[in-house]
């Protein structure tokens, strides 16, 4: 029979599901391999052709690893809490659980028809109580923990309480809020229970605190920094403003250094590492206290160039700095207040966009330079950010361009501090070269020595010290939304307490509407009869989208466990994710949070590895490729009912209209289908070129409104899943972004048919021969065995597909139907095109379903050895001819042989060669 992909694919998908072919063993003698795809959010639109790209790659890898004798865990599930379902619920009143369920079944149906080897027995959904029970449990562990910088790990809060009880805060080094109190053991003992809880909250790894947050009014919720892009929300693109609110936060900053160091141990794409490094934003410098003139206090600044301290000619505070009001003199009051009012009016966006204009106001106060004792003006300006460092900077105009502009604009002095600084009247010179001048105790020193000297001097005089600063802020954890995990906390006297562990999961209550209450409480405030022990209020915000996805790879290891998030045995066996494939958009969000929670769980001894993901691959984005038709306009600029082909459009005035890419084949418009697609053009005139209507092309985002969405269902219907899988890989390197173009899928389909034909005679009857394979057949086979193995190991899936085509072309030319050779071919190809291979595998007489666990053929290099090698011979670097020479011949003999050749002599034209280069097995080059 001809290649009947529809029947074959349906049959084997059914077989795999029924027999649980891809169920991972819980324990095994085999080495483990964990292949994970990034958790999808099941959106209502279903899959387009770009989504499965990474899944196909990871599936090929999983299938390959099984053939190589590994026990493979390759699961799939859904990150099913999230905003879109809730927005839809607000519009329609439908419970988000319902729409989520529907979306998941669409997703599942689409995934199933591509033939993935997922172990569906391990499926998880973050919105299921049996799952979010453990998300809540992890939250409770974080609440019950503090970060001990002495031991450099998280510990249970009880070890902190013990320290307080024995010696108070003396000697405690913790990652904590800035406003922690100092006390001794007696004072601690004397504190009320509420006061103790308030104090402990400042140390917990998840804590409630008044913080400045990104408030998105349109979404009615706060957002984390990574969910805000350029002042707008990542989802929906709504404006975001700064607002002070009581908020749950995660003390991720405690892990800043470990998150940074861990990047050196993982195999991630360099851009992802770089983005995480930038996000963490480590800078090494010093904090310096500038005493305020006629005032008991001081201004603390952070600087990475403490060596430039003698060049300080002013100090700048952020307009929001807490000391601004107090330090503004009566004469300057008006100017300062005007300036603050003016800054407030500017949105965050304007402030970022306008980096050219220099602005600021003098407070009228002075501070004293601690090293020189010099009097320095204190200013405010909005280029200083309240949220970074101490919200104050020292202005060194000679070394910093921004300070230089500020000083020039306001007529402040510019002091040269290094003898090598040049052109200070034109711009700042940030050099570290040369020796210091005008610089008191560091005069004559170089950069390194100056830094050390000053740091020591500052520390001795208690004016400051060397300090490391991180840009990364703690992550806001609460969302004022409905469709998320409830936070397992209740309030007594305004203080948060955890519910009891045996009360988990804290179920999401039913509400009448998915909107905030009249008093502005989050939607959970609408729940009736929802309180802890009938009297205490529950926390009303829910967890953010990233909560459930920050630990899910552990749940896959043991997804049904009711007494732990995963058993210790499962974690001991599976350890970590060996290969993680997903989009680059999660570089700073999901991947940082997951690494953070993983490190935390490791500190508490629940997991084994410091890093959760050994190797990460970002698959490229598939862009849309839009097609256009061109409607002619008349002299008055009015649209006509005439459409002109792309090549002739410059002869007319036209408007471009999107046309559905599914009715365009190689840029040729199917006019009949077009008339049906746009009835208003049923009677349109078409100006053709060579009898065809050629469409224009542009690369855009794939979206419904641009009519460029290609649905995998359609391609599977026409060509089958095996063709789709191979074609997606054939498009190009996995990591490269590229526009989708269905042109060319025919080639892959033809290849599979040709492969099928190798096993069949002209009458389409299955027929293979049992004789010993020929040398040529073995050569073709072993070439592909090696090539596919090498390609998969370096994630170069596109080149494998080409090589398969070459192998099948070779075997077709050899008229091979050798059973031994073809059976090995089936195994090698099965990772890419599993359905057709399962079918041929059983036709060859093997037990159904055993292909997935067959052994990958062993490569034997002997079959590739050639007796004769065709040497390209070049003269002065230009290839002139090929000479067939025995492969055993040594360089000297080859040289003699080549020079004796008649044709070579012709090129030498009587001259004697200056030099002859012979690379054995490669090339001969003659220099004349």
Show contacts with RNA in window 345-384 (CB under 7 A).
Answer: 351-352, 354-355, 382-384
Q: How far apart are CA 629 and CA 673, in angstroms?
A: 13
Token output for 246: 């009581």
Q: How far apart are CA 76 and CA 47, in angstroms?
A: 15
Which has the closest alpha carbon to 524: 537, 536, 534, 509?
509
| Distance of closest approach, residue 324 Cβ to RNA, in angstroms | 14
Q: Return the residue of 11, 614, 738, 920 that touches RNA, per CB under 7 A.
A: 738
Q: Return the residue of 1, 17, 180, 919 that touches RNA, per CB under 7 A.
A: 919
State in Å, rounded, how far the first CA of the chain is from the last one: 62
Contacts for 181 with CB less than 8 Å, ≥ 6 apart: 169, 199
Q: Return the residue of 89, 318, 616, 752 that touches RNA, per CB under 7 A.
A: 318
| Distance of closest approach, residue 366 Cβ to RNA, in angstroms | 19
Beta carbon nearer to RNA, 79 or 791: 791
For every residue of 698-734, DSSP letters joined together read: EEE---GGGT----HHHHHHHH-HHHHHHHHHHTS-T
Judged by CB under 7 A, does residue 507 bind RNA? no
| Distance of closest approach, residue 551 Cβ to RNA, in angstroms | 24
| Distance of closest approach, residue 815 Cβ to RNA, in angstroms | 12
Judged by CB under 7 A, does residue 736 bind RNA? yes
| Contact in structure between 391 and 373 (CB atoms under 8 Å) | no
CA distances from 109 to 22, 58, 553 (A): 18, 19, 23
Q: Return the residue of 426, 560, 638, 915 that touches RNA, per CB under 7 A.
A: 915
Judged by CB under 7 A, does residue 504 bind RNA? no
| Distance of closest approach, residue 640 Cβ to RNA, in angstroms | 28
Beta carbon nearer to RNA, 105 or 703: 703
Token output for 37: 């795809």
| Distance of closest approach, residue 71 Cβ to RNA, in angstroms | 28
Choose the binding region for RNA from 149-157, 388-396, 605-613, 631-639 (rule: CB under 7 A): 388-396
3-state secondary structure of 232: strand
Beta carbon nearer to RNA, 106 or 662: 662
Choose the binding region for RNA from 167-175, 291-299, 522-530, 911-919 (rule: CB under 7 A): 911-919
Judged by CB under 7 A, does residue 229 bind RNA? yes
Q: Return the residue of 54, 75, 285, 548 that touches RNA, per CB under 7 A.
A: 285
| Distance of closest approach, residue 690 Cβ to RNA, in angstroms | 7
Compute, in degrees rounded to 10, the torsion defined by CA atoms 210, 214, 215, 219.
Answer: -130
| Distance of closest approach, residue 807 Cβ to RNA, in angstroms | 10
Judged by CB under 7 A, does residue 806 bind RNA? yes
Judged by CB under 7 A, does residue 774 bind RNA? no
Interface of this chain with RNA, residues 715 to 734, rule: CB under 7 A:
730-733
Q: How far apart are CA 159 and CA 585, in angstroms?
A: 39
Q: How far apart are CA 124 and CA 565, in angstroms?
A: 12
| Distance of closest approach, residue 300 Cβ to RNA, in angstroms | 11
Judged by CB under 7 A, does residue 261 bind RNA? no
Angle (deg, nearest 10), helices 96-112 and 83-92: 130
| Distance of closest approach, residue 780 Cβ to RNA, in angstroms | 13
Interface of this chain with RNA, residues 870 to 899, rule: CB under 7 A:
870, 872, 874, 876-880, 882
Beta carbon nearer to RNA, 317 or 524: 317
3-state secondary structure of 489: strand
Judged by CB under 7 A, does residue 388 bind RNA? yes
| Contact in structure between 547 and 486 (CB atoms under 8 Å) | no
Beta carbon nearer to RNA, 94 or 225: 225
For every residue of 680-692, DSSP letters joined together read: GGTT-EEE-BTTB
Beta carbon nearer to RNA, 389 or 548: 389
Judged by CB under 7 A, does residue 796 bind RNA? yes
Choose the binding region for RNA from 137-145, 498-506, 528-536, 796-804 (rule: CB under 7 A): 796-804
Interface of this chain with RNA, residues 575 to 634, rule: CB under 7 A:
584, 588
CA distances from 716 to 263, 654, 709, 712, 829 (A): 40, 37, 15, 6, 19
- Phi/psi of residue 215, each to 5°? -100, 125
Choose the binding region for RNA from 90-98, 257-265, 428-436, 919-927 (rule: CB under 7 A): 919-927
Contacts for 399 with CB less than 8 Å, ≥ 6 apart: 305, 308, 311, 417, 418, 421, 428, 429, 430, 431
Q: Return the residue of 750, 774, 853, 868 that touches RNA, per CB under 7 A.
A: 750
Sign of the alpha-carbon torsion through 298, 299, 303, 305? negative
Contacts for 592 with CB less than 8 Å, ≥ 6 apart: 226, 252, 259, 276, 279
Judged by CB under 7 A, does residue 800 bind RNA? no
Choose the binding region for RNA from 134-142, 372-380, 545-553, 917-925 (rule: CB under 7 A): 917-925
Is 649 marked as binding a ligand? no
Choose the binding region for RNA from 206-214, 387-395, 421-429, 711-719 (rule: CB under 7 A): 387-395
Q: Return the residue of 5, 139, 302, 436 that touches RNA, per CB under 7 A.
A: 302
Q: Residue 323: how many CB atoms within 10 A of its CB?
A: 18
Sign of the alpha-carbon torsion through 438, 440, 444, 449? negative
Interface of this chain with RNA, residues 666 to 695, rule: CB under 7 A:
666, 668
Binding mask 432-471 for RNA (x = CB under 7 A): -------------------------------------x-x
| Distance of closest approach, residue 381 Cβ to RNA, in angstroms | 8
Beta carbon nearer to RNA, 160 or 396: 396
| Contact in structure between 139 and 487 (CB atoms under 8 Å) | yes
Beta carbon nearer to RNA, 180 or 385: 385
User: Number of helices and strands (H, E) in the chain?
Assistant: 29, 35
Q: How far apart are CA 377 and CA 358, in angstroms?
A: 17
Judged by CB under 7 A, does residue 320 bind RNA? no
Using CB under 7 A, count the residues that bind RNA.
79
Q: Apex CA 120: angle with CA 12 and CA 482, to 5°?
A: 135
| Distance of closest approach, residue 921 Cβ to RNA, in angstroms | 9
Beta carbon nearer to RNA, 274 or 572: 274
Judged by CB under 7 A, does residue 409 bind RNA? no
Q: How far apart are CA 771 and CA 718, in angstroms?
A: 37
Interface of this chain with RNA, residues 31 to 70, rule: CB under 7 A:
none
| Distance of closest approach, residue 882 Cβ to RNA, in angstroms | 6
Judged by CB under 7 A, does residue 741 bind RNA? yes
Contacts 24+ apart (CB under 8 A), 429-437: 429/398, 429/399, 430/305, 430/399, 430/400, 430/401, 431/399, 432/307, 436/307, 436/310
Judged by CB under 7 A, does residue 1 bind RNA? no
Q: Return the residue of 46, 220, 281, 583 that touches RNA, per CB under 7 A.
A: 281
Choose the binding region for RNA from 163-171, 572-580, 678-686, 869-877 (rule: CB under 7 A): 869-877
Q: Residue 628: how many CB atoms within 10 A of its CB?
A: 21
Judged by CB under 7 A, does residue 402 bind RNA? yes
Judged by CB under 7 A, does residue 213 bind RNA? no
Which has the closest alpha carbon to 730: 698, 708, 752, 711?
752
Q: Extract the annotated binding site for ATP.
A: 704
Binding-site positions: 704
């Amino acid at each position: 029979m001809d290649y009947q992909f529809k029947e074959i694919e349906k049959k084997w998908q059914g077989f795999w599901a029924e027999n649980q072919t891809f169920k991972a063993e819980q324990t095994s003698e085999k080495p483990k391999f964990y292949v994970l795809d990034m958790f999808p959010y099941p959106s209502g639109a279903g899959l387009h052709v770009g989504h499965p790209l990474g899944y196909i790659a990871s599936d090929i890898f999983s299938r390959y690893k099984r053939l190589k004798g590994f026990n493979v865990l390759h699961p799939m599930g859904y990150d099913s809490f999230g905003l879109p379902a809730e927005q839809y619920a607000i519009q329609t009143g439908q419970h988000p659980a319902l729409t989520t369920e529907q979306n998941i079944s669409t997703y599942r149906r689409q995934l199933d028809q591509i033939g993935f080897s997922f172990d569906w027995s391990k499926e998880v959904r973050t919105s299921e109580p049996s799952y979010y029970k453990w998300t809540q449990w992890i939250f409770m562990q974080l609440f019950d923990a503090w970060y001990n910088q002495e031991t450099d790990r998280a510990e249970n809060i009880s070890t902190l309480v013990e320290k307080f009880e024995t010696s108070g805060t003396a000697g405690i080094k913790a990652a904590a809020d800035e406003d922690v109190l100092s006390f001794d053991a007696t004072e601690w003992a004397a504190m009320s229970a509420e006061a103790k809880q308030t104090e402990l909250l400042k140390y917990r790894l998840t804590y409630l605190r008044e913080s400045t947050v990104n408030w998105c009014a349109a979404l009615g919720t706060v957002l984390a920094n990574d969910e805000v892009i350029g002042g707008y929300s990542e989802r929906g693109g709504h404006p975001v403003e700064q607002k002070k609110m009581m908020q749950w936060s995660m003390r991720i900053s405690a892990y800043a250094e470990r998150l940074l160091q861990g990047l050196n141990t993982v195999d991630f794409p360099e851009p992802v590492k770089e983005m995480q490094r930038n996000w963490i934003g480590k800078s090494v410098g010093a904090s310096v206290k500038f005493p305020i003139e006629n005032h008991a206090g001081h201004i603390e600044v952070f600087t990475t160039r403490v060596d430039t301290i003698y060049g300080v000619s002013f100090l700048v505070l952020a307009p929001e700095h807490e000391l601004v009001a107090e330090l503004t003199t009566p004469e300057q009051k008006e100017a300062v207040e005007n300036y603050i009012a003016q800054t407030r009016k500017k949105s965050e966006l304007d402030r970022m966009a306008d980096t050219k204009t220099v602005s600021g106001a003098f407070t009228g106060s002075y501070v004293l330079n601690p090293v020189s004792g010099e009097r320095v003006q204190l200013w405010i300006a909005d280029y200083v950010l309240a949220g970074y460092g101490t919200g104050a900077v020292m202005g060194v105009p000679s070394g910093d361009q921004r300070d230089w502009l500020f000083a020039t604009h306001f007529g402040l002095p510019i002091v040269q501090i290094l003898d090598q600084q040049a052109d200070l009247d034109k711009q700042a010179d940030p050099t570290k070269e040369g020796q210091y001048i005008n610089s008191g105790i560091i005069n004559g020193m170089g950069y390194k020595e100056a830094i050390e000297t000053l740091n020591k001097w500052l520390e001795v005089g208690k004016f400051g010290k060397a300090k490391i600063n991180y840009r990364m802020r703690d992550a806001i954890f609460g969302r004022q939304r409905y469709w998320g995990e409830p936070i397992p906390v209740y309030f007594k006297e305004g203080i948060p307490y955890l519910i009891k562990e045996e009360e988990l999961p804290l179920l999401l209550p039913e509400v009448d509407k998915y909107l905030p209450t009249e008093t502005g409480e989050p939607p959970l405030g609408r729940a009736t009869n929802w309180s802890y022990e009938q009297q205490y209020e529950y926390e009303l915000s829910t967890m953010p989208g990233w909560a459930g996805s920050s630990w899910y790879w552990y749940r896959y290891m043991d997804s049904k466990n009711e007494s732990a998030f995963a058993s210790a045995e499962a974690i001991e066996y599976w350890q970590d994710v060996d290969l993680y494939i997903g989009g680059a958009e999660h570089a700073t969000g999901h991947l940082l949070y997951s690494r953070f929670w993983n490190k935390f769980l490791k500190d508490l001894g629940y997991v084994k590895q410091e890093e959760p993901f050994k190797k990460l691959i970002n698959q490229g984005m598939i862009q849309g490729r839009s097609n256009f038709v061109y409607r002619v306009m008349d002299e008055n600029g009015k649209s006509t009912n005439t459409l002109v082909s792309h090549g002739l459009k410059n002869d007319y005035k036209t408007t471009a209209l999107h046309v559905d890419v599914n009715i365009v084949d190689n840029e040729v418009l199917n006019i009949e289908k077009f008339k049906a697609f746009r009835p208003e053009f049923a009677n349109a005139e078409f100006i053709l070129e060579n009898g065809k209507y050629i469409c224009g092309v542009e690369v855009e985002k794939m979206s419904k409104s641009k009519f460029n969405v290609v649905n995998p269902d359609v391609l599977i219907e026409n060509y089958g899943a095996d063709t789709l899988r191979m074609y997606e890989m054939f498009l190009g390197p996995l990591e490269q972004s590229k526009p989708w173009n269905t042109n060319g899928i025919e080639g892959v389909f033809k290849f599979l048919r040709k492969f099928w034909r190798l096993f069949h005679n002209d009458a389409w009857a299955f027929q293979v021969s049992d004789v010993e394979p020929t040398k040529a057949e073995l050569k073709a086979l072993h070439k592909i065995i090696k090539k596919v193995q090498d390609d998969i190991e370096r994630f170069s899936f596109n080149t494998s597909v080409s090589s398969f085509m070459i192998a099948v072309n070779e075997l077709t030319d050899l008229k091979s139907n050798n059973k031994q050779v073809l059976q090995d071919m089936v195994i090698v190809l099965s990772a890419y095109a599993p359905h057709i291979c399962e079918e041929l595998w059983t036709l060859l007489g093997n037990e159904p379903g055993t292909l997935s666990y067959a052994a990958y053929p062993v490569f034997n290099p002997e079959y590739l050895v050639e007796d004769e090698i065709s040497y390209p011979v070049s003269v002065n670097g230009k290839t002139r001819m090929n000479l067939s020479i025995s492969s055993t011949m040594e360089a000297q003999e080859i040289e003699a042989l080549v020079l004796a050749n008649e044709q070579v002599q012709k090129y030498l034209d009587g001259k004697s060669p200056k030099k002859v280069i012979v690379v054995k097995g490669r090339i001969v080059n003659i220099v004349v």
